[in-house]
Structures are given as C-alpha cells and as structure tokens.
Amino acid sequence: MGSLPRRQRVGAYAVMLREREGRVELLLSRLSPRVSRTELWTLPGGGIDHGEDPRAAVIREIHEETGLEATVGETARVYSAHLPRASRDGLLVDAHAIRIVYDGWAAPDAPAPRVLEVDGSTSEAAWKPLDDVVSRAVPVTGLVTDALVDHLPFRLQRVAAYAVARRADEVLLTRLSARAAHPGRWTLPGGGVDHGEHPAVALAREVEEECGLPCEVTGLVGVHDTHFFGNAPSGRIEDYHGVHLIFGATVGDGAPRVLEVDGTTDAAAWVPVADIESGAVEVLDVVRHALRTVS
C-alpha cells in the first residue's frame, strides 16, 4: 500500500475567558455535523490564508464563528498534531495540523455569540463553564485541553502612587469614569508609576492631570494592596494585584478640575470626610485605608 497524500494546515485560535457571576467561562465553537458526527467543541479560530498575519486571521475567524469583535495578545503558543490516517474532505490523508493559539478577550458588553459564516465548519458558538470543560462534561477537542494548560488567566501586578491631601475636614478625591473598573466610585488622586519613574514624580504628574492643581508630595504614609480575579474593563480576565503607595501631599489653591481627556477620571472634588464615613459618598477601600492611616 502506498503512502497517503500529505496535508499540512496552519491555523490560528484563541483561548477566550470571562467571569460571570463568580463563574469563569470559556468561549467555544461547536464543530458542524459534516466535521464531527458527535457533539464536539473547539477553540474559535481556523485556517490562516496565504499571506495573512496570524493575529489578523484569528480575529477574522472569531468574528465569523462567534460574531464577536475580539482582541488578542501579542504572543502565542504553538501546538502540533500529526494524524497519519485522518479523513479530510472524504479522503484518507496523512495530516499535520499546526495550531497557533493566542489569549483573546471581548468587551464586557459584547452580545451573545452567534455564528455568521454560512455552511462552514462551525454550527454553534457559546460561553461554556470552564469547570464543565475541564471535567469533560462538555466534549472538547484535544486542542482545548492542551491550550488550557498553558493559557492561564493573565497575571498583572501594578504599582501605583496616591495622594492624601486634606483641607480642614475634607479630602481631595477623584471619581472613576466608565473606562475604569469601578465607574462612579471615588478614590484618591494618583495612578500608575511608569517604568523608571520615581513614585513621587509619578504622583505629582497624576494629581495635576486628574485635579488640575500643582502637587507637592511629602512622605510615604502607608501601603495598601488589592487582589482581584475577574474581568478588567477591557474584558480580559485577569489575576490582578494592585500595590498602592500612599503619600501625604499638599496641593495649590483653586477648584479641582480634570485635565486629562478620555481617561479613568471624570470628576475631582474636595469631599467631606463625614460623607465618606457615613457612606453618602461611595469610595474604594484605599480611601478608607488612607484615612485610617493618617488619622
């Protein structure tokens, strides 16, 4: 018997996770009956066209198979599967599949997935509980199992500097915009420390951007941290650790006003401490921690 025809195929796929009501879910595409006679789910994605960038290919394929506009990371892992005797288009072939798998995510307000392509290899798209995928209650391809070992939720540790500026019985606060993780809540002015930037310099810059007031940073008064697992504002699921350096500060005269455009801050104001303590003004925990520290 002669050797079988060789078929090599390169595809791009994405592991897309989200958190809903305390449960982690994975976006999957169900293979159509012409591909699998039994129920079988796989990662959204597919073949890379000649000359097509793999990241562009996976974004295109995700849209065709799920109707979602996806964002994918810059890096990927590669998986290889050699199937010496496989059926392809009704023929028995020696198949070799190379799969490039990215991390991907969709916006938190993305609609329910639905298949757009007609007569393709996908018959359904859905978010499936990750626990059901791992337990095999949801039947999945080997690619899904292999990729989940390597594509854990994105880990991010962020160092930020914040200011405690007091005026009589008031403290200077900023309100988080719709672009932030907790829109509508109030926090201390400040923000992320850029690579190589001194925290005090970063803080003075951030206070001026968020409050429109010159800032003189004094000493470090405390350190606060938060650990969060869930969807970031972008929709990417993250294992997030925030480390907050809290400094004393004084600011110049004048009414605070936000200077940055389309940032994570939409208002700045002097807020009575009594309103914070009573709960009349909803704040992040870092505010209460700072007030306890400096009281």
Contact 170, 178 (CB under 8 A): no
pLDDT of the residue at 295: 72
Q: Residues 117, 160: one domain?
A: no
Report d(CA 233, CA 245) in Å as an integer: 22
Mean pLDDT for all residues in the chain? 93
Quick one: average pLDDT of 171-179? 94
Q: Residues 143, 210: one domain?
A: no
Q: Residues 66, 117: one domain?
A: yes
Report d(CA 290, CA 147) in Å as an integer: 42
Q: How far is CA 256 from CA 17, 134, 189, 204, 208, in A?
A: 39, 51, 11, 14, 9
- Number of domains the chain contains: 2
Contact 43, 144 (CB under 8 A): yes
The residue among 121, 150, 179 that closes a domain is 150
Print burial letters for 111-127: b (CB count within 10 Å at least 16), e (below 16).
eebebeeeebbbbbbbb
Report d(CA 157, CA 50) in Å as an integer: 38
Q: Residues 182, 221: one domain?
A: yes
Quick one: average pLDDT of 174-188? 92
Does residue 96 surpass a pLDDT of 90?
yes
Residue 216 resides in a domain: yes
**Beta strands at 91-106 and 6-20: parallel, antiparallel or unpaired:** parallel
Stretch (H or E) spanning 80 = strand 70-88
Phi first, then psi, for residue 286 (nearest 5°) are -60, -30
Q: Residues 237, 108: one domain?
A: no
Residue 28 resides in a domain: yes
Residue 1 resides in a domain: no
Q: Residues 146, 233: one domain?
A: no
The residue among 97, 116, 150 that closes a domain is 150
Q: Residues 259, 194: one domain?
A: yes
Q: Residues 41, 61: one domain?
A: yes
Closest to 220 measured CA to CA, from 264, 161, 278, 275: 161
Contact 52, 88 (CB under 8 A): no
Does residue 1 surpass a pLDDT of 60?
no
Quick one: average pLDDT of 71-94? 89
Quick one: average pLDDT of 130-155? 92
Domain carrying residue 145 = 6-150
Quick one: average pLDDT of 172-200? 94
Would you say the C-alpha torsion 200, 203, 205, 207 has a positive or negative sign? negative
pLDDT digits (tens, 9 = 90+) for 25-62: 999 999 999 888 899 999 999 999 999 999 999 999 99
The residue among 150, 169, 185 that closes a domain is 150
Phi first, then psi, for residue 258 (nearest 5°) are -75, 130
Closest to 291 measured CA to CA, from 159, 161, 202, 170: 170
Confidence of residue 2 (pLDDT cuts 50, 70, 90): low
Q: Residues 138, 17: one domain?
A: yes
Phi first, then psi, for residue 132 (nearest 5°) are -70, -30
Q: Residues 240, 264: one domain?
A: yes
CATH number of the domain to which 74 belongs = 3.90.79.10
Confidence of residue 127 (pLDDT cuts 50, 70, 90): very high
Enumerate residues 6+ apart whose C-beta is below 8 A from 89.
none
Q: Residues 278, 181: one domain?
A: yes
Closest to 103 measured CA to CA, from 162, 141, 55: 55
Phi first, then psi, for residue 224 (nearest 5°) are -125, 150
pLDDT over 70, % of the chain = 99
Quick one: average pLDDT of 147-155? 87
Enumerate residues 6+ apart whose C-beta is below 8 A from 22.
none
Contact 49, 138 (CB under 8 A): no
Report d(CA 156, CA 148) in Å as an integer: 19
Does residue 204 surpass a pLDDT of 50?
yes
Quick one: average pLDDT of 220-242? 90
Stretch (H or E) spanning 205 = helix 199-211
